Amino acid sequence: MTEGAQRRERWWPLPSDLPSPPFQSGWIGFSFRSWAAVCLALATAFWAQLDSPAGAAVTVMIITQPLRGQALSKALYRLVGTMLGTAASILLITCFSQDRGMLLGGCALWLAGCTYIGSLERNFRSYGALLSGYTIALVAVNVVDKPQNVFDVAISRASCVAIGIASVAFVNMLTGSPKAWQKLADGLESRARQIRDFGRRAMQGEDVPDAMETTALAGDILSLSAQITYAKTEIDRSTRRTAGARLAIIGMLTVLGSGRAIAHILRHNKVSALARRHVLAWHELREDHSDRLETVSSLLQSMREEDPSYHPNAADAHFLERSAVMLSNRMHISTGINTLQYATPAGEALKLAQIARHPDHIAALINALRVLLGFSITAGLCIASGQPPSMAALSQAALILTLASTANDTTQFGMGAVWGLSLAVFVAIFMNYLVLPHLATFGALALVLLPHTIFACLMLLNPKSSAVGFNYGAFFPLILGLSNHQDYDPLAFISRNIFYLIAGVISFIILVLLFPPTPRSRRFRIAASIGQDFEAQLKGQGRPAGAALLTLKYDRLAQLLSWTKRIPPHHFSRREGERPVERPVNRHVFNRLVELEDLASTLARVRHYLDDACACSCLTALANDARDVVKSAAFPTLARDLPRLSCEFLDVSSRSSVSGERALALLCAGSLEALRSALAENRSTLMHFGLGRSRW
């Protein structure tokens, strides 16, 4: 009986019959945990008689996260950032308490420096750097007219942060919130299945996803590295277990890149049926701890046992080299996942499991300049107004400008600040004058805060409204002015909140006018960095082949894909007869840059194999000859000499009786053939971008 017929026969509903909720899974638990932490933080702050108990609730709403590891990791960096920021505030007040201009100038420089560092970092390390920056605005700027109060304000600020962090940690441990490390393990298992299927399809010569889809998958795999930092706070033996997760990620990326190359080889070259059959059999039946040299040796031995007259050609060597890399890295995936889950030893491979990132120093510098100029402009406006409460607007503007520096769309973040603060003010008016006067107990206040917290959490979970949700949820307690003795004076309410709204508007204007990031400029800088790395590899001075180069490559390509998707698609049209033909420019440019990145990786791989061959007595002379040709010969000379060198390495491989030498010679031949093929396919790209001019 079909599922639909079964549903029609019974009259009672089941949970599976209900429509899917419009919110992300886990939103109920996340919302109630956040609400419980807010109530606990407020109760503790009220009991401790803090000057601004609302700051504890603000801390909770800023660090609240769906997963336990996320919340604890963010809490740790918030604590460190607060300590650094308060220390810098006390130092600046001590040095320039009598000189407002120097004090504000020092604050601006500190903000800019922290913004620069935060823009280069990732995840909550970035947040910690940004927090240490805007803490100085919340402490030093707020006491610019009363510098003698700096210690009291600093202690109050630190106390609020500590209470908020402790509340979140206690609620997460008490309620058993979802664990980040388990989500990481599940994510690795899911991606590993995708990668195994991708490798199998590539080996069988089937169609595989194109460069854009493959890069999207690589970016999805690399995004799991963020969860590694969250998992550290949850698990024992975290160093070994998180290294296992990194090893699995690197193994997946290696298989992904090798699979793309294998699919390309089988599509454009004639590979012997013997080589394809043995490689596919190895892929289907074997998974051991063999490295690429041992894998190639075993493959050559098994093929020659079946056909003693077999001698691989250049296409076979290229295919076998890429297949050996893919086959030997499959074990890294399963080993890394087992190490994460059970802390099983993985040998020396864990030491090599390092993930590199592509930093955009120009974007970081632009962000720092935007914060520096924006803070200076806002400070000038506040001083010109002559209103002491205007310093609250300066502090709020500094906070918004600093946090916006890590947003992909600063305009959207600024708009979120305007809408979020405005919404918070309207809700605060309703609560302050229609609800709070009728409350007599903290329990009633907690119930009133429940719908507000749920609404803020729902907006935070939605990427499209996260900026509005953050500004609304985080700053609502401050706008409401929660304290031990609630003030219902309308003038005080207006005086306090008018400057929060002004800060939001000023921040939005500055974010729109001062160096807003554009997808085209970001894509251009990434393309320039790819070209620079290619030039370095061409001179033999680039990064060596390995995990760092691999992860840097895919991180850069993932960023390139992200910004390329933000550019409106344009098409060139031409007429062939009477039908217009359109060509997607963005996809074409992206594919060219991916091929250029692959070419740079091939150069690094050739250098790695030739360096290994130089240590082998029977290959030293030939390897030195090949290294000189690759490093200095013109492109036409390379096109002529690379096939010759590849054939000579294959001859050595055929004559050698030592399995290690035979395998290494074949790897050198395969990498040289890969370089020849890549140079031939990218000739127009190199000419178009003007790369390698000295070798034309």
Three state DSSP letters for 619-681: CHHHHHHHHHHHHHCCHHHHHHHHHHHHHHHHHHHHHCCCHHHHHHHHHHHHHHHHHHHHHHH
The residue out of 342, 369, 388 marking a domain boundary is: 342
Task: Decide if pLDDT at 72 tops 90.
Answer: no
Q: Helix (H, G, I), strand (E, B), or coil: what is residue 584?
A: strand
Structure tokens at 113: 């420096």
Whole-number pLDDT of residue 4: 47
- Give residue 529's pLDDT band: very low, low, confident or very high (50, 70, 90): very high
Cα 393 vs. chain centroid, distance in angstroms?
A: 32
Question: What does 204-237 look like in DSSP terms, one character per residue?
Answer: TT-----HHHHHHHHHHHHTHHHHHHHHTTT-SS
Q: Helix (H, G, I), strand (E, B), or coil: what is residue 173?
A: helix
Q: In whole angstroms, give the CA distance from residue 439 to residue 445.
A: 7
> Tens digits of per-residue pLDDT, 362-383?
989 999 998 998 888 888 888 8
Asked if 401 and 486 sit in the same domain, the reply is: yes
Asked if 508 and 546 sit in the same domain, the reply is: no
Neighbours of 290 (CB within 10 A): 18
Exposure on the CB side of residue 550, measured as CA atoms within 13 A:
24
CB 676 within 8 A of CB 645: no
CB 279 within 8 A of CB 319: yes
Which DSSP state fits 355? -
**Any domain includes 437:** yes
Q: Name which of 311, 198, 348, 180 is nearest 262 in CA terms.
A: 198
Which residues have a Cβ under 8 Å from the Cβ of 170 and sit 6 or more positions away?
37, 40
- Give residue 605's pLDDT band: very low, low, confident or very high (50, 70, 90): very high
Task: Decide if pLDDT at 174 tops 70.
Answer: yes
Whole-number pLDDT of residue 218: 92
Cα 455 vs. chain centroid, distance in angstroms?
A: 27
Q: In whole angstroms, give the CA distance from residue 64 to residue 343.
A: 29
**Any domain includes 523:** no
- Give residue 350's pLDDT band: very low, low, confident or very high (50, 70, 90): low
Number of structural domains (the chain) is 3
Task: Decide if pLDDT at 319 tops 70.
Answer: yes
Asked if 689 and 616 sit in the same domain, the reply is: yes
Asked if 369 and 327 sit in the same domain, the reply is: no
Asked if 52 and 136 sit in the same domain, the reply is: yes
Asked if 546 and 691 sit in the same domain, the reply is: yes
**Any domain includes 310:** yes
Q: In whole angstroms, give the CA distance from residue 278 to residue 285.
A: 10
Whole-number pLDDT of residue 227: 82
Asked if 425 and 317 sit in the same domain, the reply is: no
Asked if 192 and 337 sit in the same domain, the reply is: yes
The residue out of 342, 369, 400 marking a domain boundary is: 342
Domain of 471, in residue numbers: 24-179+359-513
**Any domain includes 529:** no
Whole-number pLDDT of residue 21: 55
Asked if 563 and 689 sit in the same domain, the reply is: yes
Q: Which amino acid is at 571?
A: H
**Any domain includes 384:** yes
Which DSSP state fits 433? I
Residue 142 β-bridge partners: none
The three-state DSSP-derived secondary structure of 130-160 is HHHHHHHHHHCHHHCCCHHHHHHHHHHHHHH
Number of helices and strands in the chain (H, E): 27, 2
Asked if 335 and 201 sit in the same domain, the reply is: yes
| Locus of tokens 């803090």 | 50
The residue out of 316, 342, 368 marking a domain boundary is: 342
**Any domain includes 596:** yes
The three-state DSSP-derived secondary structure of 310-324 is CCCCHHHHHHHHHHH
Q: Name which of 290, 323, 327, 321 is nearest 609 in CA terms.
A: 321
The three-state DSSP-derived secondary structure of 434-458 is HHHHHCCCHHHHHHHHHHHHHHHHH
Neighbours of 486 (CB within 10 A): 13
Which DSSP state fits 98? T
**Any domain includes 322:** yes
> Tens digits of per-residue pLDDT, 492-519?
888 878 888 888 888 888 888 888 888 8
**Any domain includes 461:** yes
> Tens digits of per-residue pLDDT, 614-656?
888 888 888 888 888 888 888 888 888 899 988 988 888 888 7
Task: Decide if pLDDT at 25 tops 80.
Answer: no
- Give residue 178's pLDDT band: very low, low, confident or very high (50, 70, 90): low
- Give residue 584's pLDDT band: very low, low, confident or very high (50, 70, 90): low
Report which secondary-structure segment, H or E, holds 581.
strand 579-584
- Give residue 176's pLDDT band: very low, low, confident or very high (50, 70, 90): low
Report which secondary-structure segment, H or E, holds 571.
strand 571-576
**CA dist 662 to 73, 234, 474, 659, Å?**
50, 47, 64, 5
CB 134 within 8 A of CB 398: yes
Q: In whole angstroms, give the CA distance from residue 317 to residue 310.
A: 12
The three-state DSSP-derived secondary structure of 99-111 is CHHHHHHHHHHHH
With the C-alpha atoms ordered 292, 296, 301, 303, is the resulting torsion angle positive or negative? positive
Report which secondary-structure segment, H or E, holds 276.
helix 273-285
Q: In whole angstroms, give the CA distance from residue 104 to residue 379.
A: 8
Highest averaged pLDDT of the listed ranges 244-258, 282-296, 460-474: 244-258
Q: In whole angstroms, give the CA distance from residue 187 to residue 578.
A: 50
Asked if 375 and 263 sit in the same domain, the reply is: no
Structure tokens at 176: 């058993």
Whole-number pLDDT of residue 146: 80
Whole-number pLDDT of residue 63: 76
Query: Average pLDDT, whole number, for the chain?
Result: 83
Give φ, ψ of 386 to 5 degrees.
70, 15
Q: In whole angstroms, give the CA distance from residue 548 to residue 354.
A: 6
Q: In whole angstroms, give the CA distance from residue 82 to residue 133.
A: 9
- Give residue 288's pLDDT band: very low, low, confident or very high (50, 70, 90): low
Q: Which amino acid is at 591?
A: N
Residue 681 β-bridge partners: none
Whole-number pLDDT of residue 287: 59
Q: Helix (H, G, I), strand (E, B), or coil: what is residue 428?
A: helix
> Tens digits of per-residue pLDDT, 107-130?
999 999 999 999 998 888 888 888
Q: Which residues of 576-604 are buried (b: 16+ CB within 10 A; e: fewer)?
A: eeeeeeeeeebeeebebbbebbbbbbbbb
From 301-315, 339-353, 450-464, the region with the lowest mean pLDDT: 339-353
Asked if 627 and 683 sit in the same domain, the reply is: yes
